[in-house]
Amino acid sequence: MKVDLRRFFMDDIITEDIKIATSLNNDTDTGANENMVINIADSDGEISETMHHPHSHHHHSHHHHSHHHHGSHSHSGKHYSRRNKKDNKIVRFIKKHRNALINLSIILFVGVLFFCVLLWVEKSDEKEQFPVSDIAETKGYIRIETSLYSEEVCIMNPAVSAYMNSAENVKADKFYKNFNGSKNRLDTALPVRFSYTVTGIPAGVSVEFAELEVSEFSSYMDAQKIVLENKNDAVDVYLLKSGTQYYYRLNLTLSDGALAGSCGSFKTAVSPRFMNVDGAYNMRDIGGWTTLSGKKVKQGLLYRGTEIDGAIETKYCLTEKGIEQMRSVLKIKTDMDLRTKVDTPKGKDVLGNDIKHIYYGVTMYDTIFREQNYEGIRRVFSDLADKSNYPVYMHCTYGRDRTGTVCYILEALLGLSDKDLRREYDLSALNDGFSDLESFAGLTTMLSMYEGATTQEKAENYLLSIGVTVDEIASIRRIFLGE
């Protein structure tokens, strides 16, 4: 409803002083009546009062009565005439705009009521999100100090960092040899270490349960939840995206049932995203790279790595923890197995029967350009065009040759530079020290023979030549780049 306030007042602007006479009837023994005149000055808003005492009923006041009667009779008549005109004008105004005034009053009332409800909800939310204030009132002052990161947190291990900062023609196996003396795996990411201390807990009370939530969203939607075993005051958080803002929330339950909490945020630095999944090797996200057009390849869609069922290499087998990480944290929907089922008789659906497990039987490097090998590649890219298949775990046995070949074509299609295409492929050498850039060169040489001014155009023309459709190519780009 639109209310035009100008209609309320434009026709009834009062430009002179208003004198309102009000009779105050006094029913006490004196029987006196008083008239109060209130003068409202338009110019400066000043208000003055004048008390008029009309005739008295007592005989001894006859002289006063006569004086008042003769001295003010004409004045009173004129005064009440003006008053009646003004009163009538106000009454007419109220009658004329009665409905509008009622509606305006309702709007004002609803507005005030809505504001009060907002204040109440805000106060309720504060109480729910920050229960420490409740504990402070009843259990004493509790203070929780958590890890603070004033700068971006690097999750890239030293070997990966050294390789990414090296000259373009340096092979990754050099860094495997240089760093392998530590006996630590180099195909993993560094964690973000989270620690906390609690002070002010009342005597006899301890931390009974501690859980950390880490999410990309301030609402903690899809949070990774980590229980701090044995009520430890520190935990390492893995499987984080690179170059991403994160929000954390620590939830504590005390032995007396009271709750406490603390929250904060941090940001990870940009880097290749290796994955620490228990039982998987050479595993990384193909996202996070920047294309020649300046777009970022989305993370969390396609992970590449080794086999996870131990069919060929027994150590490449997911543990129960690894299966849980794949299912609950990474939320894998499709196991894209580039091996053939015949070649892997021991292969099994290690992620569970509800996860799609598809064999493709693709070849590697320059052999994918032979016509008899087109079908496997075509099926892979047809399934990559289906958004319902994501997130995907793609692998062969070692996660380097067949997987490296398919990922090279995919990343070229998305628009990575030749330098980054080579680096992303060669990162696999940090798993076992084997760098096969000679075979990789055969792949790039064969692709270069296709039409196109860029590697991206050549990859597109290759895929079109083996039966991948224009719509499927467009869908893949939308999925990974948001185009």
Residue 402: pLDDT over 50: yes
Q: Which residue has the tokens 């590649």?
A: 377
Name the 3-class secondary structure at 36: strand
- Whether the Cβ atoms of residue 237 and residue 224 lie closer than 8 Å to each other: yes
Residues 5-34, mean pLDDT to the nearest whole number: 38
Higher pLDDT, 67 or 400: 400
Residue 28: pLDDT over 50: no
pTM of the complete model: 0.70
What is the pLDDT, as a whole number, of residue 37? Answer: 35
Lowest-pLDDT range, 117-126, 159-168, 423-432? 117-126
Residues 50-96: tens digit of each pLDDT: 444 444 444 444 444 444 444 444 444 544 455 555 566 666 766 77
Residues 310-337, mean pLDDT to the nearest whole number: 96
DSSP E strand stretches across 171-301: 192-199, 207-215, 224-227, 234-237, 245-254, 259-267, 273-274, 284-285
Q: Interior CA angle at 292 toward 471 and 409, to 5°?
A: 50
Q: Tally the residues of the chain.
A: 483
What is the pLDDT, as a whole number, of residue 120? Answer: 55
Residue 4: pLDDT over 50: no
45 CB-contact burial (10 Å; exposed 0-12 / middle 13-18 / buried 19+): exposed
- Whether the Cβ atoms of residue 464 and residue 473 lie closer than 8 Å to each other: yes
What is the pLDDT, as a whole number, of residue 483? Answer: 67
For the chain, report the end-to-end CA distance as a whole number of angstroms.
Answer: 43
374-384 and 402-414 helices, crossing angle to 10°: 50
Distance CA 51, CA 34 (A): 7
